[in-house]
Amino acid sequence: ESGRIAGVVQYGANRVDFIDSGLYLEAHGDHFDKKKGRPSLLLFSLTGEMTNSQRPVHFVSHEGRVSIHFDGNFAEGVDSKNVIVREEDLFLPNPDTLIITSAQQHGYGIPVHGGKIVFSEPDPDREFGSLPFGFVVLDEQGNVVQTFADKEDFQASCLGIHGEAGVGEHLLFGCNEKREDGTGDGGIFVMTHDPVTGLFSAHKIAYPDGLRTSILRSHHAQPFAIGNYGSRPDPGYKALVRINPDSTEIDPNDIQQLSTDYRGFDFEKEHGNKLAVLTVDGLLQVFNPSDWTLLGSTQVVEDFSGAEGLRPALTVGSGFAYVSNPNAGEILEVDLDTVSVSRTFSVEGQPVNMAALGWVAPLGPVPARDADHSHEHVADGDDFSHVYYASLSEGLNMISSPLKPRTPMDARSLAEMVGATMVIKLDDVNQEYVGWTPDAPDNGFPIEGAKGYIVNLPRARQVAFVGAPWTNQPQVSAAPIARSIDTPANTWAFVVSGQLEGVQNLEGYLVTVRNLRTNAIMTNRVRNDYFAAATADLSRQSVVRVGDTLEVTVVDVTGEIASEKLSFVVTPEALANAVLPITLKGIGIPKQSLVLQNYPNPFNPETWIPYRLSESAPVTLTIYDMTGRLVRTLSLGIKPAGFYQGRARAAYWDGLNDVGERVSSGVYFYRLSTPSFHQMKRMIILK
Radius of gyration, alpha carbons of the chain: 34
Pair 651, 611: CB distance under 8 Å? yes
pLDDT at residue 578 tops 50 = yes
Provide the mean pLDDT of the chain. 88
Q: Is 38 helix (H, G, I), strand (E, B) or coil?
A: coil
Query: What HEC string does 283-315 produce?
Result: EEEEEECCCCEEEEEEECCCCCCCCCCCCCCEE
Question: Cα angle at 303 between 299 and 308, to 5 degrees?
Answer: 145
pLDDT of 526: 92
Question: Cα angle at 326 between 322 and 328, to 5 degrees?
Answer: 100
**Bridge partners of residue 444, in order along the sequence:** none
Alpha helices in 381-533 (DSSP H): 411-418
pLDDT at residue 679 tops 50 = yes
d(CA 29, CA 265): 38
Residue 631's pLDDT band, with cuts at 50, 70 and 90, is very high
pLDDT of 317: 93
**155 or 350, higher pLDDT:** 350
Residue-wise pLDDT tens digits, 224-269 = 999 999 988 788 899 999 999 999 999 989 999 999 999 999 999 9
pLDDT of 287: 97
Q: What percent of the chain has pLDDT over 90?
A: 61
Q: Which of 399-413, 435-449, 474-488 has the highest mean pLDDT?
A: 435-449
If residue 17 lies in a helix (H) or strand (E), which one and from where to where?
strand 15-20
Pair 498, 583: CB distance under 8 Å? yes
pLDDT of 270: 85
Domains in the chain, please, with CATH? 380-587 (2.60.40.1120), 594-685 (2.60.40.4070)
pLDDT of 180: 64
pLDDT of 487: 54
pLDDT at residue 351 tops 70 = yes
pLDDT of 488: 65
pLDDT at residue 601 tops 80 = yes
pLDDT of 392: 85
Residue-wise pLDDT tens digits, 192-221 = 998 888 899 999 998 888 789 999 999 988
Q: Average pLDDT, stretch 463-481?
A: 60
Pair 269, 244: CB distance under 8 Å? no
**625 or 3, higher pLDDT:** 625
Q: Which residues of 442-470 are buried (b: 16+ CB within 10 A; e: fewer)?
A: eebbebebebebbbbbbeebebbbbbbeb
pLDDT of 184: 65
d(CA 405, CA 409): 7
Residue 596's pLDDT band, with cuts at 50, 70 and 90, is very high
Q: Average pLDDT, stretch 521-544?
A: 93
pLDDT at residue 472 tops 90 = no
Residue 63 exposure: Cα atoms within 13 Å on the Cβ side: 18
Give the distance between the most distant pair of CA atoms in the chain: 115
Residue-wise pLDDT tens digits, 90-101 = 988 888 888 999
**86 or 431, higher pLDDT:** 86
Q: What percent of the chain has pLDDT over 70?
A: 92
pLDDT of 370: 52
Q: Which residues of 652-671 are buried (b: 16+ CB within 10 A; e: fewer)?
A: ebebeeeeeeebeeeebebb
Q: Average pLDDT, stretch 24-52?
A: 83
Burial label, 285 (beta-carbon count in 10 A; 0-12, 13-18, 19+): buried
